[in-house]
């Protein structure tokens, strides 16, 4: 790519951080009051909140985030599973087990038959949504391998189940390739910049196409130009100062909103975790402590209140539980980060991208979050009815999306309970559904009752 992208302006970030200064309690509370209106925050507001350290201010920050999360998302929690189809990679990224020169990792690209086997296992667990993940090199088929793999995922049926939404996390593409990816019926295209700090980016990406910072940071522009309405961005926290990364993330979001009228559909917040053959992953240069990680989630929820926040199984069960109230709206469950990991029935550290923090299976995770009062949702209705991108946000901001999301959440949860749940999980879940439906607004309640009756009567994939 010719020239440097202007998406991230580091001088402005430095000035904003300097201008925040020591946190004034009155200013922090003024920003929290503003955040409570659920209209988002400016970078200067985010910079002030990041400096807050006093216990009383942090308590107020977390309380505000909990209120905003509850008011927008209610008790819905979207679940999905990653599907690693390949760990082939030509990039040399010092923090990643898949890096090209790492001889400690066993390389593998699944055949379409092996992908179908993985998908069947996920379906038989109860999953409806998967994220296809591949290292940034492909077998001899090239990019067509990704498209064929997505088609395979959609083709698999098992009993009453199927995968209804395929998201994709693959290397940055050309405009034409993004158009082909859209034609493959993906949901969200996901790509992390890893670090927005240009100097750090160059230090940790030594070779391969991924070394091109500008090609990567402009990938979402090409994806949205190609007609992919929902994109997901993220940071790999631990590579650079998290405060810088947060403000850079805000700049990236603002850029997309200015150019396309809508920002990212989701933001992911992974922290560096140990990875085979990577000293950096075990000793992050800018490790993010748990207290700061909680702040990151809470501030993001206030800064971009209608954007989904994804937390993976990098985090352990305790942090995952706590993060749900602070702002996380989507989690993976029962994950494997090595190609073929579901068929093999366990984590293969010699082929995995990183070490898992949460090893629980889907049913155990569902029973756990249900006990906390969350409705596990496998809903894919919006994507198939065209409620994506700006159309989704236009419904979300006035609160109208609840009329669809709440009934669809209980409908898909009831499917899971009837078809896949253990008796203990089903008992917990059916009680929760009854409570959730009773707490809905009249219109949504009527729709939810109808959908649940349909599912109990044998209908599958009932949504509004």
CB 278 within 8 A of CB 102: yes
191-194's contacts with Cβ under 8 Å and 24+ in sequence apart are 191/216, 191/219, 191/220, 191/231, 191/232, 191/233, 192/233, 192/234, 192/235, 192/236, 192/268, 192/270, 193/217, 193/233, 193/234, 193/235, 193/252, 194/93, 194/95, 194/235, 194/236, 194/239
Task: Note the pLDDT of residue 137.
Answer: 87
Helix axes of 55-73 and 25-35: crossing angle, nearest 10 degrees: 0
Task: Note the pLDDT of residue 388.
Answer: 77
Give the number of other Cβ atoms within 10 Å of residue 202's Cβ: 12
Task: Note the pLDDT of residue 349.
Answer: 60
**pLDDT higher than threshold 80 for residue 106:** yes
Structure tokens at 38: 């659920």
Task: Note the pLDDT of residue 348.
Answer: 58
CA distances from 95 to 115, 344, 413 (A): 27, 25, 37
**pLDDT higher than threshold 70 for residue 196:** yes
Mean pLDDT of all residues in 193-202:
98
Q: Are strands 330-332 and 76-86 parallel, antiparallel or unpaired?
A: parallel
Cα–chain-centroid distance for residue 223? 17
Mean pLDDT of all residues in 14-29:
93
Per-residue pLDDT tens for 130-178? 999 998 888 889 999 999 999 999 999 999 999 999 999 999 999 999 9
Confidence bin at 393 (pLDDT 50/70/90): confident
Structure tokens at 295: 């702040």
Mean pLDDT of all residues in 389-412:
82
Confidence bin at 1 (pLDDT 50/70/90): very low
CB 208 within 8 A of CB 100: yes
Query: Model-level pTM?
Result: 0.95
Which stretches does DSSP call E strand in 269-387? 308-311, 330-332, 375-377
Give the number of other Cβ atoms within 10 Å of residue 454's Cβ: 16
Task: Note the pLDDT of residue 256.
Answer: 97
Phi, psi (5° rounding) for residue 384?
Answer: -85, -15
**pLDDT higher than threshold 50 for residue 395:** yes
The C-alpha atoms of residue 322 and residue 358 are separated, in whole angstroms, by 14
**pLDDT higher than threshold 60 for residue 414:** yes
Mean pLDDT of all residues in 18-29:
92
Helix axes of 175-183 and 144-155: crossing angle, nearest 10 degrees: 10
- Looking at per-residue confidence, does 192 or 395 come out higher? 192
DSSP H or E segment with residue 76 = strand 76-86
- The whole-chain average pLDDT of the chain stands at 94
Q: Write the CB contacts of 18 (distance below 8 Å, at least 6 apart in sequence).
A: none
Per-residue pLDDT tens for 300-356? 999 999 999 999 999 999 999 999 999 999 999 999 989 999 998 766 566 677 778
The C-alpha atoms of residue 464 and residue 384 are separated, in whole angstroms, by 10
Cα end-to-end span (Å), the chain: 44
**pLDDT higher than threshold 80 for residue 31:** yes
Give the number of other Cβ atoms within 10 Å of residue 291's Cβ: 9
The C-alpha atoms of residue 332 and residue 83 are separated, in whole angstroms, by 11
DSSP H or E segment with residue 169 = strand 165-169
Nearest alpha-carbon partner for 6 in 243, 258, 234, 223:
258
Task: Note the pLDDT of residue 8.
Answer: 97
Q: Write the CB contacts of 388 (distance below 8 Å, at least 6 apart in sequence).
A: 229, 230, 265, 382
CB 425 within 8 A of CB 433: no
Q: Are strands 205-207 and 92-93 parallel, antiparallel or unpaired?
A: antiparallel
Mean pLDDT of all residues in 285-302:
98
CB 285 within 8 A of CB 237: no
Give the number of other Cβ atoms within 10 Å of residue 441's Cβ: 11
Per-residue pLDDT tens for 420-459? 999 999 999 999 999 999 999 999 999 999 999 999 999 9
């Amino acid at each position: 790519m010719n020239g440097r992208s202007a998406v991230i302006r580091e001088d402005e970030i430095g000035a904003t951080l300097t201008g925040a200064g020591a946190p004034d309690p009155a200013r922090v509370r003024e920003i929290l009051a503003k955040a409570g209106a659920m209209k988002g925050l400016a970078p200067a507001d985010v910079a002030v909140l990041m400096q807050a350290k006093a216990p009383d201010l942090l308590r107020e920050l977390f309380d505000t985030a909990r209120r905003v999360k509850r008011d927008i998302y209610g008790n819905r929690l979207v679940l999905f599973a990653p599907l690693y189809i390949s760990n082939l990679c030509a990039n040399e990224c010092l923090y990643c087990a898949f890096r090209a020169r790492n001889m400690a990792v066993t390389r593998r690209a699944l055949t379409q038959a092996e992908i179908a086997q993985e998908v069947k296992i996920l379906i038989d667990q109860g999953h409806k949504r998967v994220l296809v993940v591949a290292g940034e090199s492909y077998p001899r088929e090239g990019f067509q391998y990704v498209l064929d793999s997505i088609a395979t995922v959609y083709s698999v049926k098992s009993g009453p189940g199927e995968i209804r939404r395929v998201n994709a996390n693959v290397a940055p593409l050309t405009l034409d390739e993004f158009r082909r990816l859209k034609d493959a019926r993906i949901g969200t295209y996901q790509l992390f910049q890893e670090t927005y700090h240009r100097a750090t980016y160059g230090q940790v990406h030594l070779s391969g196409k991924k070394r091109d910072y500008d090609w990567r940071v402009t990938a979402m522009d090409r994806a949205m130009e190609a007609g992919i309405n929902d994109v997901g961005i993220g940071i790999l926290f631990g590579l650079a100062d998290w405060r810088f990364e947060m403000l850079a993330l805000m700049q990236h979001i603002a850029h997309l909103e200015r150019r396309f009228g809508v920002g990212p559909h989701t933001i992911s917040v992974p922290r560096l975790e140990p990875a085979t053959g990577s000293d950096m992953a075990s000793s992050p240069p800018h490790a993010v402590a748990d207290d700061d990680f909680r702040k990151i989630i809470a501030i993001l929820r206030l800064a971009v209140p209608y954007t989904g926040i994804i937390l993976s199984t990098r985090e352990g069960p305790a942090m995952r539980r706590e993060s749900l109230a602070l702002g996380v709206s989507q989690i993976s469950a029962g994950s494997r980060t090595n190609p073929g990991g579901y068929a093999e029935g366990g984590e293969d550290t010699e082929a995995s991208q990183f070490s898992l923090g949460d090893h629980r299976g889907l049913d155990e995770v569902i029973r756990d979050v249900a006990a906390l009062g969350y409705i596990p949702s496998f809903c894919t209705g919006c994507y198939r009815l065209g409620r994506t991108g700006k159309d989704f946000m236009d419904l979300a901001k006035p609160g109208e999306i609840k009329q669809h999301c709440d009934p669809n959440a209980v409908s898909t949860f009831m499917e899971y309970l009837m078809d896949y749940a253990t008796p203990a999980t089903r008992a917990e879940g059916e009680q929760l559904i009854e409570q959730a439906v009773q707490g809905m607004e009249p219109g949504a309640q009527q729709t939810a009752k109808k959908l649940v009756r349909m599912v109990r009567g044998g209908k599958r994939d009932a949504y509004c």
